[in-house]
Amino acid sequence: MTIGIKRERKIMNRLNELPEKYQTVLNHLIDHLASHPPMYRENAIKRLEPIIRENPYQDDIPGLDRELLLNQIRATDEAHRRSPAAVRFRSLMSKYSQATRKSK
């Protein structure tokens, strides 16, 4: 007989790669969502989902100058952009973006 053992689920993310001020904002968002009823949480998550699917390399995003973004990336991180991991990531994001557009 097994007594209820709660297994801790490890969530993998890249939060530690963001500046502390962004981590703080995201933590505030999580606390805010957790403090409200499920109906509000679901509504808020639905509003965030389009942002998760954005591809700043291809999509027109209100308030974001894509050309300036691309110039900054080229100037500050050319080596990273050419790394195999970054190339794979962009390829996967492009495929994901195309698949989600087709499913709409």
| Token couple for 61 | 């995003």
Give 81's contacts (C-beta < 8 A, 6+ positions apart): 73, 74
CB 53 within 8 A of CB 96: yes
Using CA atoms, how far apart are residues 59 and 74, in angstroms rounded to an integer?
A: 18
pLDDT tens digits for range 21-43: 999 999 999 999 999 999 999 99
pLDDT tens digits for range 47-104: 999 999 999 888 899 999 988 988 888 877 666 656 777 778 888 888 888 877 776 5
pTM: 0.57
